Structure 1
Amino acid sequence: MSRVGRDLRVAGVVQGVGFRPYVHRLATGLRLSGRVGNDVAGVFIEIEGTQENVTEFLSALPRDPPPLARIDRVHVTACAARGADGFEIAASRDGGAHGALVSADFATCADCLRELFDPADRRYRYPFVNCTHCGPRFTIVREVPYDRPRTTMADFPMCAACGAEYTDPTDRRFHAEPTCCPDCGPRLELGGSTDPVGDAVARLADGQVLAIKGLGGFHLAVLAAHPTAPAVLRARKHRADKPFAVMVADLRQATELCEVDEIGERELTGPRRPIVLLPRRADARISAAVAPATSELGLMLPYTPLHHLLLRDLGEPIVLTSGNISDEPIAYRDADRLAGIADAVLTHNRPIHIRADDSVVRAGTVLRRSRGYAPEPLVLPLSCPQPVLACGAELKNTFCLTKGSHAFLSQHIGDLTDHETYVSFTESVQHFQRLFGITPRVVAHDLHPDYLSTRYAGELDDVDLIGVQHHHAHIASCLADNGETGPVIGVAFDGTGYGPDGTIWGGEFLVADLSGYERAGHLRPVPLPGGDAAVRQPWRMAAAYLPNADLPVTRRHKTQWAAVVAMARNGVNAPLTSSAGRLFDAAAALLDVRDEITYEGQAAIELEQCADPSTSEGYPAAVHDLVVHGEDLLHAIVADLHAGVDRAVIAARFHNGLADAVVTCCARLREHTGLQTVALSGGVFQNALLLRRTAAGLRRRGFRVLTHQRVPANDGGISLGQAVVAARRTGG
């Protein structure tokens, strides 16, 4: 019978995820000959056999790939049969243009978990058990193709037993690059302890602060229900109020602390294992210092074998927060920076090549995209004719590289105001460029001249620079997140963004697509008395909006109130701002929710937490020439406070009133533009109550509504928006 041949090129997440064994099993089952291998572009396959079997192979290949694989594209070329004898897995090939996609780090799979707790298994209680379906990837890879010598496992020669698994195409550890066991792999250390896990558990139970080396860096852990340990950790970490994340052993423990719906359960138990924000149960047994002034908890399930061992042996939840001083990047090379915070360090000798914080999600929406997601690319709604580097924003920084129709969004970097974070940013940009073989020809940046990300862009050689307005980037990010190009009515609400008119934007109504935008409306600008001081002290915004207010907030700050009011009236160190975030700050101060903040967005977050979601009515706000008079909402707050209305009802009426004003503006813009789609973006729309009320109101008026899902609505999504704007402006 005549034989035919085919050459295949498979692109996507197909290295280090068991894809070659999958191809081997499929090909041998169909009695095909040839080979499969990795190279810098992805996976190459050469097959030959009968026409019927080759056709079946091509049909079956994308049908049931390994769980962590993602096939983006299969290119098939007909060729003559080469006369191959059998089907083999070939050695990886170097050279050529990079195109391989690197998998994210994934949580321990069920098969490895069974081995971890099976006394008869040779990997029993070994804290580095993994296979092609789970374990470290992104955080250990140095170069591509993704092979062991190019990872931080290169210094751990495999023993004979692991080598046999690694070279057996029928084994789930075939070419699982981190494959190891107690005889040949990394080891735990806790001082001179002979039982590091047991000693760690004892220290946690005793109320000590423990540093733990994880996949993407060190964490700090304490017993979550301990009467004093979480407060001690707060003091040592200099983290006054921002909630800590909590790791629970399983879903049973999760449901004892929070209300877990179907979406929450799926997020908690999925292979990415982010921190999931969930409503806290009133009877949750947890220290008040874990998450003060919030009705939510950030929960996560164990995602490494070490976490499983600790949580199983300890029997109760732990705080697990990034190993750093507040505002610094997570420690990942050693624990020296944690001296003075941790009482002990549980570490290991497998190096981390690139740091990665935990990801955060809420109700199916990504709020921080990092471990478990990065560096898997996003498919863009356009193709980039030239590779782009987008440098992102100053706060919650990520950067983005594009190649063809793929966008490689970095892990969460952090706030570039910290020097160590800026160093991490520059190192990560260089690593991504090497890893994906991208040399950017176009560099996109924010318009703010003092952002370190903007300065970094300006210092690069032989590139074309494209400045992208902050709020246009927000809307473009939302479009790209939804696979669209616009035009849309874009509503961009956040705290701060550089406005081309010299004011600080943040409450914007745009008519926008990926090419450009028109500012069609906004919140009425007010002074920002003291500049950055007003961001840290929300009561200043109450003074700017309502200088003659007679409320407790006025009396609390009576020694400074008149000076701040004068500063605002005279425009001295008081730039104008249309920021929706600052409007929330003023409302929070008037309601005695928060006068000063210790982390970004704290006042708005706590205002949302105190609102009664069952309240349906909202305060009216005047809209003149598409300018929303936010002060109307604040005057209504004052009136209700004097009338003795419950604070939770007032907070809800404020949220609802702002949402109603957004709907009114969008409806008027539709009359002028004919646009039926609204994109909602910016950090303020991480407020679930505001987002829900706004989206529902828009849909009732017949609008199609786009919101963020895969990338953050906050500044963590800015780089994606910058990238697609730059791509479109250069011919994409």
Structure 2
Amino acid sequence: MTVVRARIRVEGVVQGVGFRPFAHSLAMRLDLGGLVGNDSEGVFVEVEGDAAAVGEFQHALRRDAPPLAVIERVTAEECTPRGDRAFTIVASRAGPARHTLVSPDTATCAACLAELADPDDRRHGHPFLSCTHCGPRFTIVTDVPYDRPATTMAGFPMCAACAAEYSDPADRRFHAQPICCPACGPALRLLDADGGPRDGDPVAGAAALLTSGAVLAVKGLGGFHVAADATCEGAVAALRARKHREDKPFAVMVPDLDAARRLCAVDAAAESVLTSARRPIVLLPRRADAAVAQAVAPGNASLGLVLPYTPLHTLLAAALGRPFVLTSGNVSDEPIAYTDTDAAARLGGIVDATLTHDRPIHTRTDDSVVRLFRGREYPLRRSRGYVPHPLPLPSPAHRPVLACGAELKNTFCLARDRHAFVSHHIGDLENYETYRSFTEGIAHFRRLFDIVPEVVAHDLHPDYLSTKYARELDGVELVGVQHHHAHVASCLADNGVTGPVIGVALDGLGYGTDGTIWGGEFLLADLVGHRRLGHLDPVPMPGGAAAIRQPWRMAAAYLGAAYPEGLPDGLDVARRNSERWAPVAAMARSGLNSPLTSSAGRLFDAASAILGVRDAVNYEGQAAVELEQRADRAHRGSYPARLVGEDPFRVLGSDLVRGVADDVVAGVATGTVAARFHNGLTAAVVAGCRRAREVTGTTTVALSGGVWQNVLLLTSAVDALEAAGFAVLVHSRVPTNDGGISLGQAAIAAATHA
């Protein structure tokens, strides 16, 4: 027998996922000696024994890794044998550089769920059970290496039974940092509206309150949620009124797949995402007979469903026995509450009771939200369950990068080498608490991943708080990135390519290089530059920001462009807003307080208002969301839109608006008009891409921007572009909306300095 010793380095998400006990059991099975441990760069292993067994050990490290491990690289070198016969797990080592990766929070695994339900198990009914294969990670970690003292479980000393499991390499909880049981773990409490404790079992008490119509705060993994019985119209209406959330749909938690199928159409792809370890909220087509209150998602043909992802959620769902609303614990536009003090202060006027516990949350993290496109995830919000897993950069960041993201749906991104660490969802920075979460989050990521940025990328808009933050940093090189170039670059990075592509960036608003507000753009773009090939024909936004809140204003502007000879009779949008219509139309004609915009989002607003769907909105994108909901999916007709001029060409959105208005006056059904508008915009996108291909020879199209959250438009456009001979790139790992902007900024900064 030839004895050899190998020194092995494993990099990736390999801490807190059971990798050391896996290596230990593998070495024992192969009769190898040596050691394994964590350090600031990942896992280090030294293994000694028969050469063939050492070779098999190295292959099996990658082939048979634990389910939550994500191995990025394994390197090995031979070293001098020491005669080791035993294989041990050694203490973690702190190092000067921190290159280890932290696992996202993951849903309760099947083994833990079995213990939770077993009356004979010592963790029966324990709301905080977990193991190396599941449970909290990112939301509780305070530092690396990932060990218990560097988590918010540090304040809970293990009892003798848990310590024995923690120290036993053969146990599923060997070195499971959040390990606990009813004797030594966090404690659950049910508090009344005044903060006083309520007697009895907290879960049973919470379920009883929900059944009675109460509104309840529930402390989850990344913050507090607010819950109400989803089948009770009065409870959901009370929650909506107290949260000041007039129309935006609520997410609904269901106990299992059978319950999900009773509410929505759940195909194999949806089932896979709903039951994944990430457990996002999944937007699915709503069944006509879905037994939920209308106030859950008023006027919406979809429901956002999520399955329990913690033991506490599992217990509460079982005790309640019906679907329940589970929405972010905040008042509209504020960040989610994540400390008990903050929850008491901000949720006191919303909830009737609070189900809480004493395990601190270190990083507040909202639920993730996805739609499905062609059987795969299409993210709308990337947060819990996904963050902080890094995304690969197409061009490595040789100098560390901070990308500050956008103003709305903000995320930030820190990048080094090939790794881009896109943050959890931060929110809209206009709110002070959200901005503080932004700055604290950057500081935490910098510490966690040991990245000191030398290059800082930001949006060109001078008034964005993310831009101002970047400009106040000392000793860094600033890179201003045009908003829609960042969108397209985000799609490129999401797909692991560098371009060039024809980028079709459709969104609400973005600061243009010509001083106007962009949002309907055809760009020739790669990671180092872009050229504007075409755009929607600009129209005025009468009243500026007021036109975003009141889509009828955009109807007035677009109708003025569509009917220079005067409006046709019978347009209800003008009648409904008759008191203000004439001065607003005049404002648009004069240009006074009416900045020009090529925004596709504002085009949707105009169509929605003319069709009578939405004159005013209560949340961003509401008019477009409801217009998509109304469209007849089977209708294939469309409105034509002309392309005029060149370098850049212009798409006349006013043609689409005239088509909508003429059909409305003629009494054509709402579903038909909405479908013709969507199909007309698809035809305009294809025509614009054909024109761009003629000019550039480029045959790949990248679709990005918030308007592409519209899966009806996305499906129609991708099908038509592919039929026209284009390769089409869409998002699958970061949102197409402004939540993906920071990745695009980081990719551009990295490529620019490559």
Q: TM-score, normalised by structure 2?
A: 0.96
Instruction: Tell me what 1:40 maps to.
Output: 40
Instruction: Tell me what 2:216 maps to.
Output: 210
- Distance of 1:61 and 1:198 partners within structure 2: 44
Deviation at 1:85, TM superposition (A): 2.9
Task: Indicate which of 706, 731, 745 corresponds to 1:683.
Answer: 706
Task: After TM superposition, list the pairs within 5 Å mapping 1:469-548 onto structure 2.
Answer: 469-547=482-560, 548=566
Amino acid at match of 1:428: G
Task: Indicate which of 408, 431, 434 corresponds to 1:418.
Answer: 431
- Distance of 2:412 and 2:471 partners within structure 1: 15
Does residue 1:568 correspond to 2:588, yes or no?
yes
- Distance of 1:68 and 1:368 partners within structure 2: 21
Secondary structure of the residue aligned to 1:546 is helix
Instruction: Tell me what 1:117 maps to.
Output: 117
Deviation at 1:84, TM superposition (A): 1.9
Are the counterparts in 2 of residues 36 and 88 from structure 1 also a CA contact under 8 Å?
A: yes
Are the counterparts in 2 of residues 211 and 345 from structure 1 also a CA contact under 8 Å?
A: yes
Does residue 1:373 correspond to 2:393, yes or no?
no
Are the counterparts in 2 of residues 542 and 586 from structure 1 also a CA contact under 8 Å?
A: yes
Does residue 1:131 correspond to 2:128, yes or no?
no
Instruction: Tell me what 1:184 maps to.
Output: 184
Secondary structure of the residue aligned to 1:401 is strand
Instruction: Tell me what 1:448 maps to.
Output: 461
Instruction: Tell me what 2:60 maps to.
Output: 60
Deviation at 1:645, TM superposition (A): 1.3
Task: After TM superposition, list the pairs within 5 Å mapping 1:303-702 onto structure 2.
Answer: 303-334=309-340, 335-336=343-344, 337-363=346-372, 364-547=377-560, 548-549=566-567, 550=569, 551-624=571-644, 625=646, 626-702=649-725
Task: Indicate which of 737, 746, 752 corresponds to 1:714.
Answer: 737
Are the counterparts in 2 of residues 380 and 480 from structure 1 also a CA contact under 8 Å?
A: yes
Secondary structure of the residue aligned to 1:356 is coil
Deviation at 1:96, TM superposition (A): 2.4
Instruction: Tell me what 1:278 maps to.
Output: 284
Instruction: Tell me what 2:251 maps to.
Output: 245
- Distance of 1:461 and 1:6 partners within structure 2: 45
- Distance of 2:207 and 2:490 partners within structure 1: 44
Are the counterparts in 2 of residues 41 and 96 from structure 1 also a CA contact under 8 Å?
A: no
Are the counterparts in 1 of residues 404 and 411 from structure 2 also a CA contact under 8 Å?
A: yes
Task: Indicate which of 262, 269, 280 corresponds to 1:263.
Answer: 269
Q: Which runs of no fewer than 5 residues in structure 2 stay unpaired?
A: 192-196, 561-565
- Distance of 2:696 and 2:438 partners within structure 1: 40
Secondary structure of the residue aligned to 2:702 is strand
- Distance of 1:619 and 1:201 partners within structure 2: 52
- Distance of 1:227 and 1:605 partners within structure 2: 23
Instruction: Tell me what 2:303 maps to.
Output: 297
Deviation at 1:679, TM superposition (A): 0.1
Instruction: Tell me what 1:195 maps to.
Output: 201
- Distance of 2:661 and 2:361 partners within structure 1: 53
CA RMSD of aligned residues (A): 0.8
Percent identity reads 65
Secondary structure of the residue aligned to 2:62 is coil
Deviation at 1:33, TM superposition (A): 1.0
Deviation at 1:3, TM superposition (A): 1.3
Amino acid at match of 2:22: Y
Instruction: Tell me what 1:82 maps to.
Output: 82
Task: After TM superposition, list the pairs within 5 Å mapping 1:15-54 onto structure 2.
Answer: 15-54=15-54
- Distance of 1:301 and 1:608 partners within structure 2: 26
Deviation at 1:380, TM superposition (A): 1.5
- Distance of 1:391 and 1:135 partners within structure 2: 30
CA displacement, residues 604-631 of structure 1 (integer Å, 9 cap, x when unaligned): 0000000011111211100113310001
Does residue 1:724 correspond to 2:753, yes or no?
no
Deviation at 1:26, TM superposition (A): 1.1
- Distance of 1:36 and 1:505 partners within structure 2: 54
Task: After TM superposition, list the pairs within 5 Å mapping 1:220-231 onto structure 2.
Answer: 220-231=226-237
Deviation at 1:668, TM superposition (A): 1.4
- Higher alpha-carbon deviation: 718-727 or 625-634: 625-634
Deviation at 1:379, TM superposition (A): 1.3
Amino acid at match of 1:393: A
Instruction: Tell me what 1:103 maps to.
Output: 103
- Distance of 2:672 and 2:140 partners within structure 1: 50
Secondary structure of the residue aligned to 2:684 is helix
- Distance of 1:112 and 1:458 partners within structure 2: 48
Are the counterparts in 1 of residues 36 and 46 from structure 2 also a CA contact under 8 Å?
A: yes
Instruction: Tell me what 1:704 maps to.
Output: 727
Deviation at 1:81, TM superposition (A): 1.3
Secondary structure of the residue aligned to 1:140 is coil
CA displacement, residues 573-610 of structure 1 (integer Å, 9 cap, x when unaligned): 10000000000000000000000000000000000000
Amino acid at match of 1:319: V
Deviation at 1:642, TM superposition (A): 2.1
Moved over 6 A (4+): none
Instruction: Tell me what 2:194 maps to.
Output: none
Q: Which runs of no fewer than 5 residues in structure 1 stay unpaired?
A: none
CA displacement, residues 645-677 of structure 1 (integer Å, 9 cap, x when unaligned): 111011001000001110011111111111110
- Higher alpha-carbon deviation: 504-513 or 67-76: 67-76
- Distance of 1:599 and 1:478 partners within structure 2: 25
Deviation at 1:643, TM superposition (A): 2.1
Are the counterparts in 1 of residues 32 and 85 from structure 2 also a CA contact under 8 Å?
A: no
- Higher alpha-carbon deviation: 68-77 or 215-224: 68-77
- Higher alpha-carbon deviation: 467-476 or 617-626: 617-626
Are the counterparts in 1 of residues 413 and 420 from structure 2 also a CA contact under 8 Å?
A: yes
- Distance of 2:682 and 2:76 partners within structure 1: 51
Instruction: Tell me what 1:157 maps to.
Output: 157
CA displacement, residues 143-184 of structure 1 (integer Å, 9 cap, x when unaligned): 000000000000000001000110111111011100000000
Instruction: Tell me what 2:563 maps to.
Output: none
- Distance of 2:720 and 2:472 partners within structure 1: 46
Q: TM-score, normalised by structure 1?
A: 0.99
Deviation at 1:559, TM superposition (A): 1.1
Deviation at 1:227, TM superposition (A): 2.5
- Distance of 1:140 and 1:492 partners within structure 2: 37
Amino acid at match of 1:214: G
- Distance of 1:101 and 1:65 partners within structure 2: 16
- Higher alpha-carbon deviation: 1-10 or 678-687: 1-10
Deviation at 1:80, TM superposition (A): 1.5
Instruction: Tell me what 1:3 maps to.
Output: 3
Are the counterparts in 2 of residues 40 and 99 from structure 1 also a CA contact under 8 Å?
A: yes
- Distance of 1:198 and 1:493 partners within structure 2: 48
Amino acid at match of 1:597: V
- Distance of 1:32 and 1:519 partners within structure 2: 62
Aligned length: 731
- Distance of 2:259 and 2:52 partners within structure 1: 53
CA displacement, residues 429-474 of structure 1 (integer Å, 9 cap, x when unaligned): 0000000111111100000000000000011111110000000000
Deviation at 1:83, TM superposition (A): 2.1
